[in-house]
Amino acid sequence: MKTLFFAIIISSSSYILIYIWGKIKIKNNFKIYKDNLFKVTSSLTNITSKDLDGLASSGLLLIVSLCLCLVPYYIAYHFIFYLTFNYTVSILLSSIIFIPLFFKKKK
């Protein structure tokens, strides 16, 4: 019965993570942050407050989106921990939900 619960928890958490990852578009947020950071560092002598505001807002957006993507992992970890009561096994099994992110979709 525990195996069935593990499979349900991992598959649902993995699906939720992929759904959130697609909706939030973290790669795009990171690219915007990187562009703003490059813009600020390339013009250190004449930095405007608009550039710094853009950097701060894109950095905050990136951090919030990364935290939202970790919510399914956190939930899966706690469900698995309550089933096994073992920290190491919980971390290893809950990290399985990140595996689908390594495979690229063929278009």
C-alpha closest to that of 9 among 59, 55, 73: 73
Query: pLDDT digits over 49-83, tens only?
Result: 898 999 999 999 999 999 998 999 999 999 999 99
Token output for 14: 């993995």
- 51-60: Cβ within 8 A, 24+ apart: 58/29, 58/32, 58/33, 59/33
pLDDT value of position 92: 92
